[in-house]
Amino acid sequence: MATLTKDDLAPGGSAARLASRRPFAVVPRNAIQRTVRMRDGVRLATDVYLPDSTGPWPSLLCRLPYDKAGEECFLPLIAEWFTARDYSVVVQDCRGKVRSDGVPVPYRTEAIDGFDTIAWIAEQPWSTGRVGMLGDSYYGFTQWAAASLDPPALAAIVPRAAPFNYRAARYRQGVLALEAVASYSLETWVDEALYDWAGSLDWSIRPLSEIVPNALGGRRPLGLDQWAKGRFPAASRVKPSGRHATLHMGGFWDPVHRQTVESWKIANATKSRQVQRLYLDTRDHGWTPLRPENAAYVDPFASTTRTSDFVDDYLSPLLEFFDEHVAHRATGAATPVRWRFSDLSWGEGESWPPPQARRKHLYLSIGGSLVEVPDAAERSIGWEHDPTNPVPSLEHPFYTLIDPPTSSVKRPDVLVFAGEPSQGDITDLVGPVTFTVELASSSESTHLYARLWDMGPQSDRRIVEGGMHISGPWPRKVSVDLGHAAYRLEPGHALRLELASSCYPLYAIHPGTSDDPWTAERFVSSGNQISIGGLRAAKLAVTVLDGGT
């Protein structure tokens, strides 16, 4: 959807087809295919990969709903990489998914299934009885879930791009992350299989609730309607306990990175905590790296060499952590927090944001600029929100960095405020970014989206983004969370803030009425306005390191 055009959004404008069921991958010959019996008798399909050396070996576990042998998560390659480094590797299809028995229900049994599987591993003759867990996204969540029950053999976890609270991950301050929820539920939670969704979602369909069922011939994925109404089961929330050594890994261009920072903060604040490290990289949800301007995307699986380089890069930070905490092969002196800047250099420190960072405010000026001193006079500026003609989001819900937008949408309902180009003094944004504003609407409630761009001499790059559902009475003062950044603004580049009331299909559309956006079929235009200047000046708050690190 990265090149979404207005035609795609117009009714009947997109050529959707039915989502296709993906065949199960072939389990590699070097995998020992096992089943592990859970406490209720259900058996989960589990592949064991053992090194060629003499065991027993420390063990690494990965539990996922995406096919343990599939190319999407390339666990066979991961297993090969870790077995070559003397770990036994166990990969398991989650309950009811792919080759595992039972009924697939997202979240519900991940804690006990993880606990029981870790106990099984610890009893095996090939395991030293010390287990680490790894995985991204939902298979990072399965780590949080298992760890919540304190399995005695669990030594360390490395959740990457992983929510520990799914409701928080699927909403931005009350706004449904529609495209992520729709595509994810369609791919993963229809039945035991996985479904390819590219090209199958017709975003012109209303109500929004029918977009996914339309791609499935009328079937509704498990959980879709509950999630879209904000109802997530208790099992989808796990509080990081800090009781296991944890490497919290996230990418600044992954919307889930807020959860990565949050899990580290929560675990780090606990009393009986084990080692907690935060690792923030310039990546998206699929760990696609940020590229220098004009550099073409390189498919990591296009050749054996590229795949090998990608897997090395993808797993090396984990090896260091597992060697220290699972295999006891190294003593760690690593810094608690590491982050990568947009120029691909690394920073490190004791906390996030670094203690020497300071908050800096940039005010919106009536002339469309971002300034350090607010306008003296308070004025308001308005725009129309037309829910039948939403502002296109232009970026992929998960793989933001494969084909990132290089310029924003120019429309009268998108407000733009640009700062002065940097004069050679490097400005580093290192930490959270928020936008605070006083807003009023002709509707009972509305949405506000804010995106911060780096405006370069040749092309632009989106740095952070966020959205918020806001209800009256008006005017209301609100702060929109735009996430975190480690961004180095090069000379000649400037910051630009964009404001709008829709961002579709990344986020659900506010119908302009009090109807639920999920089921709304009636759409009314509304007028929104914000205050600029004076005592109630709208402002962007960034966290900066003066003069770089």
Partner 1 sequence: MRGFRPVESVALLPPAKAASARVYEDLRRGILSGHIAAGTLFSEAKLAEQLGLSRTPLREAFRTLLSDGLLEEGPNRQVQVRVFPAQAHDEVAAIIDWMLRLAIVQAAQHGSPAHADGLRLITIRIRRALRQGDEEARFDEEDEFRLQLTRAAEMPVLEEVLRRMLGQARLMARSNGKSARRRPKSSDVARLDAVADAIEQGDAQTAGASIQTYPFSPPGALKSHG
Size of the site for partner 1 (CB under 8 A): 45
Does the footprint of partner 1 cover residue 81 (CB under 8 A)?
no
Q: Please, which residue, 244 or 257, has the CB nearer to partner 1?
A: 257
Does the footprint of partner 1 cover residue 196 (CB under 8 A)?
yes
Q: Please, which residue, 221 or 512, has the CB nearer to partner 1?
A: 221
Contact predicate 251/286, CB 8 Å: no
Q: Please, which residue, 192 or 386, has the CB nearer to partner 1?
A: 192
Does the footprint of partner 1 cover residue 108 (CB under 8 A)?
no
At its nearest, how many Å lie between partner 1 and the CB of residue 115? Answer: 20
Q: Which single residue is written with the structure tokens 């479904």?
A: 195
Residues 165-184 that bind partner 1 (CB under 8 A): 183-184
Out of 63, 68, 97, 99, the residue judged to bind partner 1 by CB under 8 A = 99
Helix or strand holding residue 43 (H, E): strand 43-49
* Ramachandran area for residue 473 (φ above 0: left; ψ -120 to 50: alpha; else beta): beta
Helix or strand holding residue 445 (H, E): strand 445-455
Out of 173, 307, 369, 436, the residue judged to bind partner 1 by CB under 8 A = 307
* Number of alpha carbons in the 13 Å side-chain half-sphere of residue 128: 18
At its nearest, how many Å lie between partner 1 and the CB of residue 338? Answer: 23
Q: Which of helix, strand or coil describes residue 369?
A: strand
Q: Please, which residue, 224 or 430, has the CB nearer to partner 1?
A: 224
Does the footprint of partner 1 cover residue 253 (CB under 8 A)?
no
- The candidate with the shortest Cα–Cα distance to 372, out of 363, 359, 382, 385, is 363
Q: Which of helix, strand or coil describes residue 450?
A: strand
Binding mask 262-291 for partner 1 (x = CB under 8 A): -----------------------xxx----
Does the footprint of partner 1 cover residue 251 (CB under 8 A)?
no
Q: Which two tokens stand for residue 10?
A: 């117009």
Residues 23-52 that bind partner 1 (CB under 8 A): 25-26, 32-35, 43, 45
Whole-angstrom CA distances from 383 to 50, 411, 476 are 62, 10, 16
- The candidate with the shortest Cα–Cα distance to 295, out of 406, 196, 392, 205, is 406
Rounded to whole angstroms, the Cα distance separating 342 from 282 reads 7
Supply the DSSP string of 380-404, one letter for each residue: EEEEEE-TTSPPB--S-SS-TTTS-
Rounded to whole angstroms, the Cα distance separating 275 from 331 reads 12
Residues 7-26 that bind partner 1 (CB under 8 A): 25-26
Does the footprint of partner 1 cover residue 80 (CB under 8 A)?
no
Q: Which two tokens stand for residue 129?
A: 């009885």
For residue 136, the one-letter residue type is: D
At its nearest, how many Å lie between partner 1 and the CB of residue 396? Answer: 8
Does the footprint of partner 1 cover residue 114 (CB under 8 A)?
no
Does the footprint of partner 1 cover residue 77 (CB under 8 A)?
yes
Angle at 511 between CA 507 and CA 513, to 5 degrees: 140
Q: Please, which residue, 287 or 321, has the CB nearer to partner 1?
A: 287
Does the footprint of partner 1 cover residue 399 (CB under 8 A)?
yes
Out of 8, 16, 56, 72, the residue judged to bind partner 1 by CB under 8 A = 72
Applying CB under 8 A, the residues found at the interface with partner 1 are 25-26, 32-35, 43, 45, 66, 69-74, 76-77, 99-101, 136-138, 183-184, 186-188, 192, 194, 196-198, 285-287, 299, 301-302, 304, 307, 396, 398-399, 402
